Every structure is written in C-alpha cells, then in structure tokens.
C-alpha cells in the first residue's frame, strides 16, 4: 500500500486544493467575521455575539426574511413534495403519456432559474402578461393587476415559480418504485387491494426513504433561491418576498455590511442543519429499515 | 363509475402538469416572434408575420455573443476539469484504504450542507484578495469546486461497483497505479463520467448569483446574466426581451433532450446519498 501512497496524495491534491480555495477559506472567513463589525473600508472589529443578537432582536428585515424562508421551506416540503410523488404514482402506471410527461415536466427544472424567473415576470406582467390576458378574455375587462408589485399577491406569484415544478422528485420516486419487486404488487392485487390502497399501503411505505431524501432536497433548495427573487421582486414590495439569500445579498453587496451579512450566513447554515436533522428524524432515515 | 371519475382526475392532473411545464415556454417562444404592438395587445394568437428581427435586436442590445462565448468557454472547461480531476479523488475514495480517508470523504461532501448564498461575501472577498476578481478563470475554478460533492459521489459509487479482479490482473501484468486507472478503470466508467459531466455542464450554464457577484462589466459575464441586463436596461423592447429569454434557455433544453438518460440517472444517483 505504501508504494501507492504518492499516487494517493497526487490523486487527492487537486480536489483538496479546490475545496480549500472555494469552500474552506470562505467558510473560515464566514464564521470568524460573523463575530465582527465589518463594513466596507474598515478593518473587522471583534464584537462578540452582538451581530447574532442584533439580527434577532433589532432587524425586522432579517426576521421577515427568516419567516418567509420558513414558510417557503414548509410549502416546498409538503405541497411540492406531494405533487411530485403523486405525479410519480400516476406515471408509474406506464400509460402512453408517461415518457412525454416526464420529459416535459423536467423542462422548468433544467433551465436556468433566472430564466424561469424572467418567464414568470413576463407571464405576470400587468399589461401583456398571459395571466392577465386570460382573466380579461374570461370577462373581467381592464384587469390590470400587478402581481409582483402588489403586497397581497407578490408572495403568491413568487411561490408559483417553484412550487409546482417537482419533476426532480417525480424522477427520484419513479426510479425507486421500479426497484419494488413486481411479485409484491401482484400479491396485493390477488389479495383484492385496489390501486389506491396498494399505493398507500405498499408502495409509499416502500419508497418512504426516497421521499425523505426528496423532501430534504426540496426544503434545502429554499435556502438557495436568490436568482428568482432578484429577477422578479428583489424581495419587495417592502420586504414581503424577502428571503434569507436575498437578505444576505442586500446586506453584503448593496449595504456593504459584511459582518452582519456573514452572521446571517451562519444563521442560514444553522437553519439548513436543523432542517436536515428534522427531516431525517421525521422520515426515520437514520434507521436501517422499517 | 368510480373508475371513470378516477380516469378523469388523472387526465386533469396530467394535463395540468403538461400545461404548466410547456405553457410558459411556448408562450415566451411565440411572443418572441411578435411585434411590440402585438405583444402589448395581450392576445394569445399567433404573430401575423414572424418577427425574427427580435432576435437580431436582442443580439444588438446586449452583448449576447460575448456572453454565449463566455458561457461555452466556462461550461466546457469547468466540465472537463471537474470530471477529470475529481474522478481521481473518487478513485482513491473507492479503491484504497488509508487512515485519513474518512476526513477526505467528509471534506468533499461538505458543500452539500452549505447554502451557496451564505458564501457570497466570503468567497467574493477571497477572490478579490487573491487578485482573481472578474475573470473567466475564476468562474471556471468556482464552478469546478461547486460540482465537487456531486461528481465525487456519482463517480465513487460507480467505481465501487466495478469488480476488483480487473485491477488485480492489471497489477499482475505489471501495470502501475496510474496506468491501471487510466487504461482499465476510466474506460469502464464512461456512464458515470457522462452523468457527472451533464450535471456539471448544466450547473455552469445556469448559474446566476456567483456569476453576477464575481464579475463586473460585460467582459467576463455569462449568458444567464443577459436577462438581468435586459431587465435593468432595455425594459421597453419586449420582443427582444422574449427573444433573449429563449436564447438563454434553448441550450439547456437541447442538452437535456439529447442527454436525458444521463440527467435522469444523475439525479437519481446524486440523491441516494440522502
């Protein structure tokens, strides 16, 4: 083995260097400067956990961003996941439309989410957007509601850009379902179980682990959604659609308040870990089997 | 009776899925061929004449050719570097035993637990301090690294499924560590390389926030930023804006349609890690 040691080192070096430059150093910067007061042009000054307290007690934008992100995580790990799973159950019947539907459903997931955001910005455009045109055709003339700029609908309009597009989950669940031995399903039918019953009692429990994984991916993706928000609302009107990534971006690169932005970044990592832990616990993914 | 209701509900659901997935894109494509007047009238009809000049205008208003070229350079180089360099790490993880192996395993997967946006400012600072701000090379390096967890995972799991006898016989024939890897293992693992490469390519092609933060001006920007450009500067030429959106999305869709199996198996493989 020792004669291979130099090869092992050589093979690990590139990956390690990339890791150090793009992850390790920034992560160290993130944690250390989260305890400092640091704005553009000044040197970081150690202030203990002041930023951490300040964000929670004194910053309504951060709180709002946290609440919004929380709501989106909840919606995404329930409705979004359910939609993806339901679609998988239907497509698993392998009717003539299944491949086409699977391919088409993936399109919104595969394109740049900035572009998806742009599409929906135009779809919800008050004058020429498809949504308002449709409403006008259906009878409400002069309907000119501005979805993204109105307090009452901005949140909904943003949510629509990611909530229905659960093709990733559909694909994961479909793949897992194909590994269920057909004999088990046949046995269920012979015992007189209907399709719905088989799905609920047999298929879903057997794929619960992949549903857990899907939920994990869906929930944590809500800590990444910056491009869609930037293209559509920038967090507005006011802070109605502000999420944590947008808050970090605003604080770091517009207000140049680096210390505070990095504290928010640490909070984001903590929230991510809590989400991962809870979903693991809910779906019992740590246990070896059901 | 119940059976028909069931069938009808399924029909409704599938129609809904197809409409929401295809509808927006088709609407944007059709609108990209309309005149500004036709767009503003807000009707769903087809354009009277196909106004292809919207595409020409899009290229004129924004440096789309430049952005396209940058995207191709970044995505192709990052993909090649990503799979070739990280398959080496994956090979070590899959096939050798040494004390610190688990440290490396954890290290290479840590990226999965860090929301990208939390690293925006620290990475921006690191890049600035090392004099790497605003260059294509920086974007390549950053994207190569962002694909680290997925690529290492996909390729490691594939390597682990290959029978060890292959390498043993190669060793007996006198081949060294490196020769065995290049001549025996890599050719056998083509499917895994394909999967990892497609995912990495799409990541590079679609990434927005770091491309925006780590570059400035137009020299080194990539194609997703073209949309931001249109949004902020030319918000009145809607035809061109629609055309730009189509131009940004088409390559991803083509790559996906051609390499669908790789994308699907990649998503499946990438998720089993939980």
Structure-token match 């005149």, residue found: B35
DSSP of B198-267: HHHHHHHHH--HHHHHH--TTTT--THHHHHHHHHH-TT-HHHHHHHHHHHHHHHHHHHHHTHHHHHHHH
Point out the residue among A107, A115, A272 whose CB comes nearest to the CB of B115. Answer: A272
Does any CB of chain B come closer than 8 Å to the CB of residue A175? yes
Query: Domain extents for chain A?
Result: 29-282
Nearest to A246 by CA among A267, A215, A224: A224
pLDDT tens per residue, range A53-63: 989 998 999 99
Whether residue B222 lies inside any domain: the answer is: yes
Confidence of residue A52 (pLDDT cuts 50, 70, 90): very high
- For the CA atoms of B126, B132, B135, B137, the dihedral, rounded to the nearest 10 degrees, stands at -90
Nearest CA of chain B to the CA of A112: how many Å?
Answer: 4
Q: Spell out which residues of chain A touch residue B116, defining contact as CB-CB under 8 Å.
A: 224, 226, 245
Q: Does A103 reach chain B within 8 Å, measured CB to CB?
A: yes
Q: Is B224 close to A227, i.e. CB distance below 8 A?
A: yes
Instruction: Decide if A127 and B40 are in contact by the 8 Å CB cutoff.
Output: yes
SS3 call for B189: coil
Q: What is the CATH number of the domain that holds B249?
A: 1.10.3720.10
What separation, in Å, do the N-terminal and C-terminal C-alpha atoms of chain A show? 40
pLDDT for B99: 84
Cβ–Cβ gap A268/B117 under 8 Å: yes
Per-residue pLDDT tens over the stretch B137-176: 999 999 999 999 989 988 998 898 888 888 888 888 888 8
3-state secondary structure of B118: helix
Residues A29-282: name the CATH superfamily. MetI-like (1.10.3720.10)
Burial (CB count within 10 angstroms: exposed 0-12, middle 13-18, buried 19+), residue A6: exposed
**pLDDT on residue B122:** 94
| DSSP code of residue A45 | E
Closest among A76, A267, A233 to A163, alpha carbons compared: A76
Specify the pairing of strand A45-46 against strand A36-37: antiparallel
pLDDT digits (tens, 9 = 90+) for A200-209: 888 898 888 8
Nearest-angstrom CA–CA distance, B186 and B209: 34
Number of domains chain B contains: 1
Contact call for A269 and B104, based on CB within 8 A: no
The end-to-end CA distance of chain B, in Å, is 42
Give the mutation candidate from B118, B149, B152, B207 for the A interface (greatest A CB count, under 10 A).
Answer: B118
- The whole-model pTM stands at 0.90
Give the nearest partner residue to B126 out of A25, A129, A132, using CB atoms: A25
Of A108, A114, A122, the CB nearest to B208: A114
Is some CB atom of chain B closer than 8 A to the CB atom of A85? Answer: no
Reported ipTM: 0.88
pLDDT, position A182: 86
Alpha helices in A76-166 (DSSP H): 81-91, 98-110, 113-123, 130-137, 154-162
User: Per the structure block, which two tokens stand in for A164?
Assistant: 């229905």
B117: in domain: yes
Cβ pair B104:A16 closer than 8 A: yes
Q: Residue B262 falls within a domain, yes or no?
A: yes
* Burial environment of residue A242 by CB neighbours within 10 A (0 to 12, 13 to 18, 19 or more): buried
Contact across the interface for B89 and A15, Cβ inside 8 Å? yes
Looking only at Cα atoms, what is the longest distance across chain A?
A: 80
Q: Average pLDDT in the A51-78 region?
A: 94
Contact: B96, A133; criterion CB under 8 Å:
no
pLDDT at A24: 94
Domain that holds residue B210: 53-272
What is the tens place of the pLDDT at every residue in B183-220? 889 998 888 898 889 889 989 998 999 999 999 888 89
Q: What is the pLDDT of residue A120?
A: 94
């Amino acid at each position: 083995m020792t004669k291979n040691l130099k090869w092992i080192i050589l093979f690990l070096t590139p990956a390690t260097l990339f890791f150090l430059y793009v992850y390790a150093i920034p992560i160290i910067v993130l944690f250390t400067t989260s305890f400092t007061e640091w704005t553009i042009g000044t040197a970081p000054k150690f202030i203990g956990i002041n930023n951490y307290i300040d964000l929670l007690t004194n910053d309504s934008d951060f709180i709002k961003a946290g609440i919004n992100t929380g709501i989106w995580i909840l919606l995404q790990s329930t409705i979004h996941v359910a939609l993806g799973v339901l679609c998988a159950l239907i497509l698993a019947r392998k009717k003539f439309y299944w491949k086409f539907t699977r391919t088409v459903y993936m399109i919104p997931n595969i394109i740049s989410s900035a572009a998806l955001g742009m599409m929906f910005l135009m779809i919800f455009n008050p004058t020429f957007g498809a949504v308002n045109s449709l409403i006008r055709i259906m009878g409400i003339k002069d309907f000119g509601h501005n979805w993204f700029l109105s307090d009452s609908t901005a949140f909904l309009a943003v949510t629509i850009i990611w909530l229905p597009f659960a093709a990733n989950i559909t694909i994961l669940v479909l793949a897992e379902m194909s590994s269920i031995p057909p004999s088990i399903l046949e046995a269920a039918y012979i015992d007189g179980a209907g399709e719905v019953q088989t799905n609920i009692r047999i298929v879903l429990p057997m794929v619960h682990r992949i549903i857990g994984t899907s939920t994990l991916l869906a929930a944590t993706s809500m800590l990444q959604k910056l491009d869609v928000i930037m293209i559509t609302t920038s967090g507005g009107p006011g802070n109605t659609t502000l999420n944590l990534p947008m808050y970090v971006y605003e604080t770091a690169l517009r207000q140049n308040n680096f210390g505070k932005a990095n504290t928010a970044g640490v909070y984001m990592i903590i929230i991510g870990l809590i989400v991962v832990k809870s979903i693991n616990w809910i779906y019992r993914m740590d246990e070896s089997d059901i | 009776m119940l059976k028909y209701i069931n069938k009808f509900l399924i029909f409704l659901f599938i129609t809904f899925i197809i409409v929401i997935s295809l509808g927006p894109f088709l609407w944007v494509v059709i609108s990209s061929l309309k005149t500004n007047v036709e767009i503003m009238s807000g009707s769903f009809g087809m354009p009277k004449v196909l106004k292809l000049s919207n595409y020409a205008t899009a290229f004129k208003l924004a440096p789309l050719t430049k952005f396209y070229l940058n995207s191709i350079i970044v995505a192709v180089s990052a993909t090649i570097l990503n799979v070739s360099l990280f398959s080496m790490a994956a090979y070590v993880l899959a096939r050798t035993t040494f004390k610190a192996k688990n440290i490396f395993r954890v290290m290479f997967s840590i990226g999965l637990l860090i929301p990208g946006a939390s690293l925006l400012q620290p990475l921006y600072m690191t890049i600035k301090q090392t004099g790497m701000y605003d260059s294509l090379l920086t974007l390549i390096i950053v994207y190569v690294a962002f694909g680290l967890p997925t690529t290492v995972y996909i390729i490691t799991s594939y390597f682990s499924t290959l029978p060890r006898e292959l390498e043993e016989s190669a060793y007996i024939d006198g081949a060294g560590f490196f020769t065995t890897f290049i001549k025996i293992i890599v050719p056998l693992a083509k499917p895994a390389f394909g999967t990892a490469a497609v995912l990495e390519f799409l990541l590079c092609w679609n990434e927005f926030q770091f491309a925006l933060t780590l570059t400035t001006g137009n020299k080194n920007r990539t194609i997703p930023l073209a949309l931001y450009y249109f949004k902020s500067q030319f918000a009145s030429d809607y035809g061109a804006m629609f055309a730009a959106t189509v131009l940004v999305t088409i390559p991803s869709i083509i790559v996906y349609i051609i390499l669908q199996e790789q994308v699907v198996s990649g998503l499946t493989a990438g998720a089993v890690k939980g």
